């Protein structure tokens, strides 16, 4: 234990030497003190001088409003004129919070502005006062007198150890403390402002990321709180407002830190959050209601922030045991340093006699650590959020890769399925086409040939009848070949071939056909497939066959016209032979039934109209007709081919 104590003591001594500077200079650790508000050094024989050890910390000025300053004096031996170093000598004061004056041998050599009725000051920076060589006495002791102003609102007035020595030896010490006490807070306030703006913008766009919002608020509050080391002078009427803002920022930072730890640990305790926010508001409200209570509020209310910090530390430690990750251990480690620094600063601020054996140098130099530990804490919080962000991005990237691979696999499977479906559709189309041709041959030519063969075997048909049947079969085959021919598949071509053959047949039977075709080139949307074309031509063939069978020779009018996207076919004759033919229902027979079946398969309607003296067959097809395979009973065709 003694070895560990020696190591810690040596480390602290080294740190104090680096921060406070143990330069080769004369350090005045004892001086005489007198409470006197005079603007010039009191006489050496004035009553009330007493010797004190430095640094001096004692209750503030007495109730006498005129006694709001303390004088400190001491004697030191100066260098001989011929040994005076370059730059001369100087006096170094680590702090002089309320301003004052520096006198050498009865002459004023430096002054730090003090508070007035219109201005309030609080100097956090160190002070370096150069001593004029002409005032230094090399052969006799020099008398140094320092006037330390003390605000009547200050509970404890403090005066540091004074160093006198060569300017070049004291300047590094001054610069080092100035950097940590003055420059570093300026950098911290600037960086906090930028960081808070950036993080709060992220939170504004992503309200669900509560940790980002808390981190942004904590950074903003700490930046405001750090301004206490930057703002050293203000108009007197604005001073209470600034102290209220300072207390609100200090307490707010601790409370938001606790809320951050609770949110990180996913602890749902609404009453705890309400209690923290209520305690946060107590201190600033007391200062607003009673500005004179600011010192007491600062001392008592600030002490209550220490348990809040310890509670936040306990929650952070609990998070480590729950998550068991290295990242989760960073925050409690930084919080431990911050809480320890906060306790240290509170003791430094409010204890006039505290002088721990290991930390004596820190207390004597009044080196505050919280604003440095809090910077580390903010870095740890930011690093934790950055790690969470990187983890989320990595997870999102992995998810994207997984989704991309799954989508690619699904696309390949879908493409393969489409290929299989297309192949199946091609095979199905070919199969359906073959089946349609087979059904058509079976139900048309096959049935007709079989029936005719049976009649020939019984001797019921003459040679002329046999020839008529063969001609009809050939005509039916030609219609199928024209409609289903794969090389063109054009409806107008199939229709032209059909009309050409029937023109000759009708004229041979002394009929006078007239054709009216009103279908635009490339149109006929009602016929989108060769099967539909075939069914239409067979309906026309059946209608013309009935004309040949039942009507007397005369005019035969065939009209095919397109109205919009619909198609209409009409076949009209001039009436029956003599004697007159039977009524329509008796004449319709199987041929009319077949035509109606084919019309229904095309999605159209067939009308049979009788008028004096002839008959009209009218087929109406809608905008699109996709013929399905149909089973049509056999019908013998009468005309010669």
Residue 45: CB atoms within 10 A of its CB come to 6
- Final residue of a domain: which of 177, 192, 208? 177
Q: Residues 171, 185: one domain?
A: no
Q: Residues 168, 293: one domain?
A: no
Of residues 434 and 36, which shows the higher confidence score? 36
For residue 68, with 0-12 CB atoms within 10 Å meaning exposed, 13-18 middle and 19 or more buried, which class applies? Answer: buried
CATH code at 563? 3.30.565.10
Q: Residues 168, 261: one domain?
A: no
| pLDDT tens string 35-86 | 888 889 998 888 889 999 988 887 766 555 455 789 999 999 888 777 778 8
State the pLDDT at residue 580.
45
pLDDT over threshold 50, residue 184: yes
Q: Residues 86, 199: one domain?
A: no
Confidence of residue 544 (pLDDT cuts 50, 70, 90): confident
Kindly give the residue spans of alpha helices, DSSP state H, lying in 266-325.
Answer: 270-289, 294-323
What sign for the dihedral angle of Cα 371, 375, 380, 384?
positive
Residues 162 and 110: beta-carbon distance below 8 Å:
no
Closest among 264, 267, 400, 244 to 331, alpha carbons compared: 264
Residues 393 and 347: beta-carbon distance below 8 Å:
no
Confidence of residue 324 (pLDDT cuts 50, 70, 90): confident
| pLDDT tens string 223-258 | 999 999 999 999 988 888 888 898 899 999 999 999
What is the distance between the alpha carbons of residues 580 and 583, in angstroms, rounded to a whole number?
9
Angle between helices 326-350 and 239-265 (to 10 degrees): 150
- Final residue of a domain: which of 385, 401, 417? 401
pLDDT over threshold 80, residue 435: no
Confidence of residue 204 (pLDDT cuts 50, 70, 90): very high
State the pLDDT at residue 454.
65
> Average pLDDT, stretch 399-415?
88
Q: Residues 248, 384: one domain?
A: yes
Q: Residues 205, 126: one domain?
A: no
State the pLDDT at residue 10.
43
The answer to the question of residue 264 being in a domain is yes
Kindly give the residue spans of alpha helices, DSSP state H, lying in 441-529.
Answer: 447-458, 463-484, 491-508
What is the distance between the alpha carbons of residues 353 and 16, in angstroms, rounded to a whole number?
19
What is the distance between the alpha carbons of residues 120 and 97, in angstroms, rounded to a whole number?
11
The answer to the question of residue 450 being in a domain is no
State the pLDDT at residue 13.
44
State the pLDDT at residue 633.
45
State the pLDDT at residue 440.
65
pLDDT over threshold 50, residue 447: yes
What is the distance between the alpha carbons of residues 217 and 195, in angstroms, rounded to a whole number?
10
> What is the torsion angle, in degrees rounded to the nearest 10, for the CA atoms of residue 561, residue 567, residue 573 and residue 574?
-60
Domain that holds residue 100: 2-177
- Final residue of a domain: which of 155, 177, 199? 177
Any idea what the Cα angle at residue 372 is, between residues 330 and 26, rounded to 5°?
Answer: 140
What is the distance between the alpha carbons of residues 347 and 364, in angstroms, rounded to a whole number?
12
Residues 38 and 106: beta-carbon distance below 8 Å:
no
Q: Residues 615, 517: one domain?
A: yes
Q: Among 175-189, 284-298, 373-387, where is mean pLDDT lowest? A: 284-298
pLDDT over threshold 70, residue 260: yes
State the pLDDT at residue 626.
54
Kindly give the residue spans of alpha helices, DSSP state H, lying in 324-369.
Answer: 326-350, 360-365
Confidence of residue 7 (pLDDT cuts 50, 70, 90): very low
Of residues 478 and 111, which shows the higher confidence score? 111
State the pLDDT at residue 216.
93
Confidence of residue 357 (pLDDT cuts 50, 70, 90): low
pLDDT over threshold 90, residue 109: yes
Q: Among 136-145, 221-230, 318-327, where is mean pLDDT lowest? A: 318-327
Residues 302 and 255: beta-carbon distance below 8 Å:
no
In 229-283, beta strands by DSSP E: 233-235
Q: Residues 391, 307: one domain?
A: yes
| pLDDT tens string 112-126 | 999 888 999 999 999
**Count of the separate structural domains present in the chain:** 3
Tokens 């204890």 sit on residue: 351
Mean pLDDT (the chain, rounded): 79
The answer to the question of residue 407 being in a domain is no
Q: Residues 170, 209: one domain?
A: no
Measured in Å, how far apart are the chain's first and last C-alpha atoms? Answer: 129
Any idea what the Cα angle at residue 424 is, between residues 418 and 429, rounded to 5°?
Answer: 125
Closest among 64, 27, 374 to 224, alpha carbons compared: 374
CATH code at 217? 1.20.1070
Exposure of 62 in the CB half-sphere (CA atoms within 13 A) = 8
Confidence of residue 360 (pLDDT cuts 50, 70, 90): low
What is the distance between the alpha carbons of residues 577 and 546, in angstroms, rounded to a whole number?
12
pTM exceeds 0.75, yes or no:
no
């Amino acid at each position: 234990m003694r070895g560990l104590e020696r190591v810690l003591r040596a480390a602290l001594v080294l740190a104090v030497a680096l921060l406070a500077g143990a330069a080769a200079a004369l350090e005045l650790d004892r001086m005489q003190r007198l409470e006197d508000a005079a603007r010039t050094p009191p006489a050496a024989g004035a009553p009330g001088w007493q010797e004190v050890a430095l640094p001096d910390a004692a209750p503030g000025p007495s109730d006498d409003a005129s006694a709001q300053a303390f004088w400190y004096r001491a004697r030191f031996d100066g260098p001989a004129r011929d040994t005076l170093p370059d730059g001369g000598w100087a006096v170094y004061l680590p702090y002089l919070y309320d301003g004052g004056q520096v006198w050498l041998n009865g002459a004023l050599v430096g002054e730090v502005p003090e508070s007035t009725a219109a201005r309030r000051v609080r100097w956090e920076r160190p002070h370096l006062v150069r001593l004029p060589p002409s005032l230094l006495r090399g052969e006799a002791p020099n008398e140094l007198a320092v006037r330390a102003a003390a605000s009547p609102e200050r509970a404890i007035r403090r005066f540091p150890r004074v160093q006198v020595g060569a300017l070049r030896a004291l300047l590094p010490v001054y610069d080092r403390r100035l950097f940590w006490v003055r420059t570093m807070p300026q950098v911290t306030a600037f960086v906090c402002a930028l960081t808070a703006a950036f993080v709060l913008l992220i939170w504004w766009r992503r309200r669900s990321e509560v940790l980002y919002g808390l981190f942004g608020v904590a950074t903003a509050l700490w930046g405001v709180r750090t301004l206490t080391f930057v703002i050293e002078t203000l108009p007197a009427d604005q001073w209470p407002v600034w102290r209220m803002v300072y207390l609100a920022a200090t307490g707010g930072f601790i409370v938001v830190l606790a809320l951050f730890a609770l949110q990180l640990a996913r602890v749902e305790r609404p009453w705890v959050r309400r209690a923290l926010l209520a305690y946060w508001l107590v201190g600033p409200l007391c200062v607003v209601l009673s500005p004179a209570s600011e010192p007491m509020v600062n001392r008592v209310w600030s002490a209550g922030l220490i348990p809040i910090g310890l509670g936040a530390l306990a929650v952070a430690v609990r998070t480590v045991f729950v998550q068991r990750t290295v990242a989760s251990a960073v925050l409690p480690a930084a919080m431990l340093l911050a809480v320890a620094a906060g306790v240290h600063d509170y003791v430094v601020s409010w204890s006039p006699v505290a002088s721990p054996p290991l930390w004596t140098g820190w207390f004597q130099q009044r080196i505050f650590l919280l604003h440095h530990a809090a910077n580390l804490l903010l870095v740890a919080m930011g690093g934790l959020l950055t790690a969470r962000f990187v983890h989320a991005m990595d997870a999102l990237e992995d998810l994207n890769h997984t989704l991309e691979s799954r989508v690619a696999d699904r696309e390949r499977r879908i493409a393969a399925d489409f290929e299989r479906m297309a192949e199946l559709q091609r095979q199905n189309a070919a199969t359906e086409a073959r089946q349609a041709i087979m059904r058509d041959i079976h139900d048309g030519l096959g049935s007709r040939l079989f029936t005719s063969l049976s009649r020939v075997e019984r001797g019921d048909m003459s040679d002329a009848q046999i020839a008529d049947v063969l001609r009809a079969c050939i005509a039916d085959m030609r219609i199928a070949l024209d409609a289903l021919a794969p090389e063109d598949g054009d409806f107008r071509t199939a229709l032209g071939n059909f009309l050409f053959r029937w023109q000759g047949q009708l004229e041979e039977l002394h009929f006078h056909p007239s054709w009216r075709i009103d279908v635009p080139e490339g149109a006929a949307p009602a016929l989108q497939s060769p099967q539909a074309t075939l069914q239409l031509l067979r309906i026309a063939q059946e209608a013309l066959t009935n004309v040949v069978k039942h009507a007397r020779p005369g005019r035969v009018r065939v009209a095919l016209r397109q109205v919009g996207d619909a198609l209409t076919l009409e076949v009209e004759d001039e009436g029956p032979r003599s004697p007159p033919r039977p009524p329509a229902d008796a004449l319709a027979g199987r041929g009319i039934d077949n035509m109606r079946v084919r019309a229904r398969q095309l999605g159209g309607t067939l009308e049979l109209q009788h008028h004096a003296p002839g008959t009209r067959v009218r087929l109406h097809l809608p905008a699109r007709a996709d013929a399905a395979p149909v089973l049509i009973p056999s019908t013998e065709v009468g005309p010669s081919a």
